[in-house]
Structure 1
């Protein structure tokens, strides 16, 4: 009869499980890799840069073969996109969808770890009603094409929505989808639920800040100390706008009876430079927002309505894009320069601070540049253009700012403390196991 496992064995397995969870948490942090620029480094250099960070995922706006190939065998999850211009043909013809998979996925998978395909970007933002009704059939045909290629259970299909799909967002518990989108969203959410794919959204506290003149709004947006904002529906005090915006989406999903559909943040970020009317676009604020967001995600505290888990979040963006149209800030969302050095440090470099490094502590005093009442209401283009397989380039996709800041959250735990606990836990267990072997 085999002897029962020793205490040392149990502790060893506990250590492995904990280490796996810590490693898993890093995959929650991804980055957008836009290419609307004429000065970007080669994809091979970008792949090495990404490997030097703790970014576990990268989102492309198209299906650039050079980038997809460069990311082969890196272990980095890749989200790719079919352009808005591809949607009509993809909706009308299953063979077009099969050809798209044959050209953009099959030659690279699984060496290139493609995990998700977005059909279009912020389609519901645009005025093209035909495109909106073609979105779901296009997604269904692409899903069928994946299944025909024996990839149906391995790669998900979704689309990315602007925050303007919410008709109400404040307080977060009252979050509801705009009635004009409900019928379209019901079909899309049925698809998400049936296939296990995420509902993808673009919350930008940076843009909400432009239209919210309250004195504490900047600190609230940057995860800095503030008085918090109570949700009258739940009595939860929200301490940052990111959680409030995400929870508003969660409330809207719950209200439509889709509580189990996962939310993924496809884009969020903060411009470090902008025009004279773009309040808060500074390097200090960009560093504070992105760095504190990374720390918040690593803490695994979650949001008040989704505690104990981090929302998969793609920061915008890897590089500046000097050819972007729109407001001045559109060109200045990059975290890295094109010479591969960081514009500001958000604690994701493996070499300098390690994969569990916490974000640098921002200044606690918000800059005194709060917008005047009725501040800027620009509709910036926060997503890169995508290039369809026909080589037709679509117009830049846009993200509309949140009409209302919805902001409010449970105080996020200090990620630095949690990461120290993680490391101490591993060390203690290792020493205990070693002493018992």
Structure 2
């Protein structure tokens, strides 16, 4: 994460047929007091978080994530860019050792080649695009390119202008050298631009001009872009559309964006205006609620937002101001710094009475192969099963008519049986895409046909 007051933005890569935005969390480890990777995976699952991003390819972390149902973005560190860019065999070996070794048990969905390279004091920018090309070529070599994307997170400081959003533009010295060739590669490989966006920096530097409500997704009068006439009610939306405008200005309208870092600190130094626990809860809570509506930005209303919150834990060894050590959603002892719900959904009619909770939005991704079924996890607990069943039969669009009273699959009249039928209906309708049989840990995939009474479970719809 850049310490510079950066102003960035980004809408999000929208998986085909996904009607909601996706929310993940960055799992940073610049600390000496964090729980083990296995404990972290259990924490993620307990919160219904099925997407994470790490800043390396740590063996212990990738092993712990195996068969967890959690998608992960991994990172090639900046210090390796030169070697990867100049030597295809080095790139091949890195992918073989750090990606192929763990995939598909560990569901690696993307490689972030470097991180905020344009502000790297080691001047690694000249190597970026070549390194991205070589990593992609290595993925092609090992037949991983259809499952794993290649991109690189940029800081908002890559923009020369971000206000108003319609005037967004990249810094001139970056355009020909790296922006255009990078966007061209992303377009050719059907990938997306990763962007790290921190409205906190913009607010802290301009608190006399920017409304706190505008920065925190609270009700506000909004701002009208004089160039486009579009009204903005959140700073993040404005920043995202500034990036889209910048890409449009260099001829790349079709490339989508993913917000790979965004967050708000729960504590800061005296001069860090706005850093507080209540503001952090308002920002991240408002953001999650905003993303899970499925709505896009004023400029791209049909493109749902995909974001990765920064960060999972407060990290006590991060350098810089106090805020840098206080972006976590959790303390190292796994207690919440504040509450942020990672689930979405409304109360829907399901065949059994019970608590009507909010079920996690599954994550469509790459299709599974072979005959497989999705069934309920009996260890998930009644409340989680009921909430997931409500989602599947409601917003999920599963065919739950066979488990209504008097229908063919109503018996046995049990929550576990009914949930299994609904989960499988959702899973099969979504072509068995990875992530569509998870429901926050309430479901899992099996390779033997499930049987509940005389009810048959379809393998396609």
The alpha-carbon deviation at position 157 of structure 1 amounts to: 1.0
The alpha-carbon deviation at position 305 of structure 1 amounts to: 1.2
Say if 1:195 and 1:316 are closer, same or farther in 2 by CA, change over 3 A: same
- Asked if residue 85 in structure 1 is aligned to residue 89 in structure 2, the reply is no
Say if 1:141 and 1:237 are closer, same or farther in 2 by CA, change over 3 A: same
Match of 1:51 in 2: 45
Match of 2:404 in 1: 434
Match of 2:428 in 1: none
Q: Quick check: 426-435 or 53-62, which moved more? A: 426-435
2:196 corresponds to which of 194, 202, 215: 202
2:359 corresponds to which of 355, 362, 372: 355
The CA distance in 1 between the partners of 2:301 and 2:183, in whole Å, is 22
Match of 2:165 in 1: 172
Q: Quick check: 305-314 or 261-270, which moved more? A: 305-314
Q: Is the 8 A contact 2:91 2:134 kept in 1?
A: yes
Match of 2:367 in 1: none
The alpha-carbon deviation at position 102 of structure 1 amounts to: 1.5
The alpha-carbon deviation at position 354 of structure 1 amounts to: 3.7
Match of 2:154 in 1: 161
The CA distance in 2 between the partners of 1:243 and 1:85, in whole Å, is 33
Within 5 A, what are the aligned runs for 1:93-104? 93-104=87-98
Say if 1:141 and 1:190 are closer, same or farther in 2 by CA, change over 3 A: same
Q: Is the 8 A contact 1:53 1:355 kept in 2?
A: no
The CA distance in 2 between the partners of 1:62 and 1:428, in whole Å, is 38
The CA distance in 1 between the partners of 2:175 and 2:282, in whole Å, is 36
Match of 1:145 in 2: 138
**What is the SS of the residue equivalent to 1:254?**
helix
The CA distance in 1 between the partners of 2:41 and 2:209, in whole Å, is 41
Q: Is the 8 A contact 2:358 2:391 kept in 1?
A: no
Q: Quick check: 343-352 or 292-301, which moved more? A: 343-352
- Asked if residue 324 in structure 1 is aligned to residue 324 in structure 2, the reply is no
- Asked if residue 116 in structure 1 is aligned to residue 110 in structure 2, the reply is yes
Match of 1:275 in 2: 269
The C-alpha deviation readout for 1:265-287, integer Å capped at 9, x for no partner, is 01000000000101111110000
The CA distance in 1 between the partners of 2:29 and 2:396, in whole Å, is 40
RMSD value, Cα: 2.7
Q: Is the 8 A contact 2:393 2:400 kept in 1?
A: no
The CA distance in 1 between the partners of 2:290 and 2:72, in whole Å, is 23
The CA distance in 1 between the partners of 2:299 and 2:392, in whole Å, is 25
The C-alpha deviation readout for 1:11-43, integer Å capped at 9, x for no partner, is xxxxxxxxxx99955671011000100000000
Match of 1:362 in 2: none
Within 5 A, what are the aligned runs for 1:228-243? 228-243=222-237
Say if 1:191 and 1:252 are closer, same or farther in 2 by CA, change over 3 A: same
TM-score (norm 2): 0.72
Match of 1:364 in 2: none
Q: Is the 8 A contact 1:348 1:355 kept in 2?
A: no
- Asked if residue 261 in structure 1 is aligned to residue 268 in structure 2, the reply is no
Q: Is the 8 A contact 2:51 2:70 kept in 1?
A: yes
The CA distance in 2 between the partners of 1:426 and 1:149, in whole Å, is 35
Say if 1:232 and 1:353 are closer, same or farther in 2 by CA, change over 3 A: same
The alpha-carbon deviation at position 311 of structure 1 amounts to: 1.9
Q: Is the 8 A contact 1:81 1:119 kept in 2?
A: yes
The alpha-carbon deviation at position 57 of structure 1 amounts to: 1.1
Say if 1:427 and 1:32 are closer, same or farther in 2 by CA, change over 3 A: closer
The alpha-carbon deviation at position 302 of structure 1 amounts to: 1.1
Say if 1:252 and 1:312 are closer, same or farther in 2 by CA, change over 3 A: same
In the alignment of these two chains, the number of paired residues is 354
The CA distance in 2 between the partners of 1:200 and 1:152, in whole Å, is 17
Q: Is the 8 A contact 1:27 1:55 kept in 2?
A: no
The alpha-carbon deviation at position 317 of structure 1 amounts to: 0.2
Say if 1:427 and 1:57 are closer, same or farther in 2 by CA, change over 3 A: closer
The CA distance in 2 between the partners of 1:85 and 1:336, in whole Å, is 29
Within 5 A, what are the aligned runs for 1:386-397? none
Match of 1:345 in 2: 339
Q: Is the 8 A contact 1:36 1:321 kept in 2?
A: yes
The CA distance in 1 between the partners of 2:392 and 2:225, in whole Å, is 32
Structure holding more helix per residue: 1
The CA distance in 2 between the partners of 1:334 and 1:22, in whole Å, is 31
The CA distance in 2 between the partners of 1:212 and 1:91, in whole Å, is 39
**What is the SS of the residue equivalent to 2:100?**
coil
The CA distance in 2 between the partners of 1:347 and 1:270, in whole Å, is 16
Gaps of 5+ in 1: 1-20, 358-419
